[in-house]
Amino acid sequence: MTEHGGGSARIRVLLVDDQALIRMGFRMVLESEPDLVVVGEADDGASAGRAAGALKPDVVVMDVRMPGMDGIQATAAITERLPQTKVLIVTTYDVDEYAFAGLRAGASGFLLKSARPAELVAAIRTIAQGDAVVEPRVTRRLLELFGTQLPVGSAAEAARPGGRLDSRLAPLTDRELEVFTAIARGYSNADIGREFHLSESTVKTHVGRILLKLDLRDRVHAVILGYETGIVAPGDAG
């Protein structure tokens, strides 16, 4: 639950990392911001799950490699039990299997530990607002690298008209399916607007409705669903 102080809402953050110095550094950065508050810390996945259940933070900043339950397992457990809590994976390696697994587990984005403090702050704010911290080009690269791990369907069969559309996409209108396909290819809102001659506000409306209808946390998980349903396949990214 977001805290209110000084007339404005503060984003509640849980820090998870097995290195105390990293947690301390993150805390110092975040608590210098008036709209952020660190409500707790954990040093492994199991304690992260317990802390998240007790504190119900808005955002969990999650390390990947930890003893016992790792950050991927903890992310899956937390996002399943606490759908309103968002997870930001922090990793040492750029676009690796850990980042991909974290997104599959329900994380709303990933960030390198070498990122600047301002990038960490911006990422937390973005995730708390319900968006994802994965740039479209990074999304495309990530899925090109690891798309073969997904149980993809046949893009030809999935496409309208005449094909067998995956039942998970049935709630979408024809226009929403077009926009969903563009999201799955890693297009930004600006790209989608140019493609379909739509204003950015109209694109945002479509994206919001698509996420709501398909019960998706953010556009990154729309990309993953696109691959799973065969709407797009490795090599289709724009």
Per DSSP, the residues of 98-143 read HHHHHHHTT-SBEEETTS-HHHHHHHHHHHHTT--B--HHHHHHHH
**What amino acid is encoded at 56 in this protein?**
K
- CATH of 3-133, picked from 3.40.1710.10, 3.40.50.2300, 3.40.228.10, 2.60.40.1080, is 3.40.50.2300
pLDDT reported for residue 216:
86
| CATH C-level class of 139-229 | alpha beta
Which sequence spans correspond to the domains of the chain?
A: 3-133, 139-229
With a threshold of 0.85, does the pTM exceed it? no
Number of Cβ within 10 Å of residue 231's Cβ equals 25
CA-CA distance, 42 to 14, in Å (whole number)? 8
Number of Cβ within 10 Å of residue 187's Cβ equals 23
Q: What is the dihedral of CA 208, 220, 156, 210, to 10 degrees?
A: -10
CA-CA distance, 53 to 69, in Å (whole number)? 16
**Per-residue pLDDT tens digits of the chain, which is 238 residues long:** 566 555 468 999 999 999 999 999 999 999 999 999 999 999 999 999 999 999 999 999 999 888 889 899 999 999 999 988 999 988 876 555 676 778 778 888 888 888 899 989 999 998 888 777 765 555 656 666 555 555 545 444 444 444 578 889 999 999 999 999 998 887 878 889 999 999 988 998 999 899 999 988 777 778 888 888 888 765 555 5
User: Is 139-229 in the same CATH topology as 3-133?
Assistant: yes
Query: Which residues is 4 bridged to in the sheet?
Result: 9
pLDDT reported for residue 8:
63
pLDDT reported for residue 180:
93
pLDDT reported for residue 135:
55
User: Which tokens is 141 given?
Assistant: 């690269």
pLDDT reported for residue 157:
47
pLDDT reported for residue 156:
42
pLDDT reported for residue 14:
98
pLDDT reported for residue 26:
95
